Amino acid sequence: MRHAPIDPQLFVENRARLRQLLLPGALAVVNANDIPPTNADGSLRLIPNSDLFYLTGVEQEESILLLFPDAEDERQREILFLRETSPLIAIWEGHKLSKDAARAATGIGNIQWVSEFPKFFHRLMCESTHVYLNSNEHKRAEITVETRDARFVKSVQAQYPLHQYHRLARLLHRLRIVKSEAEMGLLREACAITRAGFDRVARFVKPGVNECEVEAEFAHEFIRRRGGFAYTPIIASGANACVLHYIENSRPCADGDLLLLDVAANYANYNADLTRTIPVNGRFNRRQKQVYDAVLRVLRASIKGLTPGKTCRQWQEEAEEAVGRECVDLGLLKPRDLKVKVDDPMRKPVKKFFMHGNGHPIGLDVHDVGFTTECFAPGWVMTVEPAIYLPAEGFAVRLENDVLITADGVVDLMADIPIEADDIEALMARRK
């Protein structure tokens, strides 16, 4: 891990919050992710399992957390199983968690080697009634590869068909959507690193630089600050910005074009999500500024509109109405277009220019888990990302900030990242 050590109290409290939601006599298991394979004998770096990290802070392959709050033997109430190291592993892979280090990092007293898991698990299953197993229940997940958790579900249910099984994901979604103070500290650090990357890039971009050079500037700034990319960066000049998931980042930035930067940092597994749209030559032209200011007005209104008690769907509709009105002022829609009644909301005229969600929860996952059909509540962190896409004019403007919802109003976690067109131009005027 590159990040500073985290106070284990965060994980102790997260486990305590989960225990409150388990049925009496229930056992819960969370597995690490697999190390993703590539080609031949290649593999990628392990992406820590967000739920395992949330509950333990552990970022090591093959780890398993077992919670059984009602176990008769109190030492068995929470157990962390770890891959045992060896001289060979130490030479090839380096440091692995010792039992003592794991105890200190997680606040879990009982640490066992993973080879012991079947024995412990069988004993505790014989004592338990309800079993909570984990699965990816993100509603937009495209699941084509079986995870360790998914394989575990299959094998446990085959071996113990008579237990009562439950979905741990339901409980974790409920917990993870509300961020604690300690989590907010990590999210703020991800935002601070993101800001440093943006400041550097705004002073680097000029006509002729390639989008991939811009990506490299972000990478340098994020990694030297002990972060990394929160998601594959989108660095899209001109009409590339109209491709929502443009990640090729390979074109020279042309004089007169806008450059859409949807790039943010991850720190200690917590993600920021930022979008800024800047003029390649440092000055917005008239039309670009008109569209820019329109999107900025919607962003400001949408941030204010994140009020506890409102549903995501209501908030989305408000944003679409606001973008629709701006599109009329920009000559893109006619007033009558705003009144068109359609059965399929995707056919609303405004969707031609703004066809995606106005935001999503963010945290340990970029599109974080949580019940977004429920009302906003204090402790949620949402992105706010209105946009107007104009492929016919060869550009798009999207702006995106991350915002904490509280009982007393919103806190814009990216308020210190320049966003007014004048401030962007002033920052770019300081280019080398």
Under the criterion CB under 6 A, does residue 262 sit at the interface with ligand GLY?
yes
Q: Which helix (H) or strand (E) holds 104?
A: helix 99-106
Query: Which DSSP symbol is given to 370?
Result: S
Closer Cβ to Mn ion, 6 or 265, answer by number: 265
333: CB partners within 8 A, 6+ apart: 324, 327, 349, 350, 353
The least distance separating ligand GLY from the CB of residue 366, rounded to whole angstroms, comes to: 6
Q: Count helices and strands (H / E) in the chain.
A: 12, 17
Q: How far apart are the first and last CA of the chain?
A: 34
Contact present, 212 and 201 (Cβ < 8 Å): no
The least distance separating ligand GLY from the CB of residue 7, rounded to whole angstroms, comes to: 29
Contact present, 405 and 376 (Cβ < 8 Å): yes
Q: Reduce the DSSP state of residue 367 to 3 states and report it.
A: coil
Closer Cβ to ligand GLY, 31 or 401, answer by number: 401
For the record, the structure tokens of 398 come out as 């999207």
The least distance separating Mn ion from the CB of residue 174, rounded to whole angstroms, comes to: 22
Q: What residue 257 binds from ligand GLY, Mn ion, none (CB within 5 to 8 A, per partner kind)?
A: none
Q: Which of 128, 271, 383, 401 binds Mn ion (CB under 5 A)?
A: 383
The least distance separating Mn ion from the CB of residue 197, rounded to whole angstroms, comes to: 13
CA distances from 191 to 1, 177, 185, 413 (A): 19, 18, 10, 7
Closer Cβ to ligand GLY, 6 or 274, answer by number: 274
Closer Cβ to Mn ion, 52 or 399, answer by number: 399
Closer Cβ to ligand GLY, 56 or 194, answer by number: 194
The least distance separating ligand GLY from the CB of residue 183, rounded to whole angstroms, comes to: 19
The least distance separating ligand GLY from the CB of residue 270, rounded to whole angstroms, comes to: 15
For the record, the structure tokens of 277 come out as 């749209």
d(CA 25, CA 8): 26
Q: Which helix (H) or strand (E) holds 173?
A: helix 168-176
Contact present, 115 and 104 (Cβ < 8 Å): no
Site mask for ligand GLY (CB under 6 A), range 289-318, x = bound: ------------------------------
List binders of ligand GLY among 229-248 (CB under 6 A): 231
Q: Which of 59, 257, 368, 385 binds ligand GLY (CB under 6 A)?
A: 385
Give me the amino acid identity at 360. H
d(CA 179, CA 13): 12
Strands (E) across 128-203 are located at 130-133, 164-167
The least distance separating ligand GLY from the CB of residue 91, rounded to whole angstroms, comes to: 39
List binders of ligand GLY among 387-416 (CB under 6 A): 400
Alpha-carbon dihedral sign for residues 180, 182, 188, 190: negative
With contacts defined by CB under 6 A, how many residues of the chain interact with ligand GLY?
6
Contact present, 201 and 213 (Cβ < 8 Å): no
Please choose, from the candidates 229, 298, 316, 301, the residue with its C-alpha nearest in 3D space to the C-alpha of residue 269: 229
Closer Cβ to ligand GLY, 134 or 271, answer by number: 271
d(CA 405, CA 368): 15
φ/ψ of residue 252, rounded to 5: -65, 145
The least distance separating Mn ion from the CB of residue 406, rounded to whole angstroms, comes to: 20
Query: Which span (59-67, 138-146, 245-253, 383-391) binds Mn ion, by CB under 5 A?
Result: 383-391
Closer Cβ to Mn ion, 273 or 368, answer by number: 273
Site mask for ligand GLY (CB under 6 A), range 335-374, x = bound: -------------------------------x--------
Closer Cβ to Mn ion, 173 or 367, answer by number: 367
Q: What residue 204 binds from Mn ion, ligand GLY, none (CB within 5 to 8 A, per partner kind)?
A: none
List binders of Mn ion among 223-262 (CB under 5 A): 262
Closer Cβ to Mn ion, 56 or 383, answer by number: 383
Q: What residue 231 binds from ligand GLY, Mn ion, none (CB within 5 to 8 A, per partner kind)?
A: ligand GLY
d(CA 67, CA 78): 5
Q: Reduce the DSSP state of residue 191 to 3 states and report it.
A: helix
Query: Which span (57-65, 212-220, 274-282, 334-342) binds Mn ion, by CB under 5 A?
Result: 274-282
Contact positions toward ligand GLY, by CB under 6 A? Answer: 231, 262, 273, 366, 385, 400
Contact positions toward Mn ion, by CB under 5 A? Answer: 262, 273, 275, 383, 400
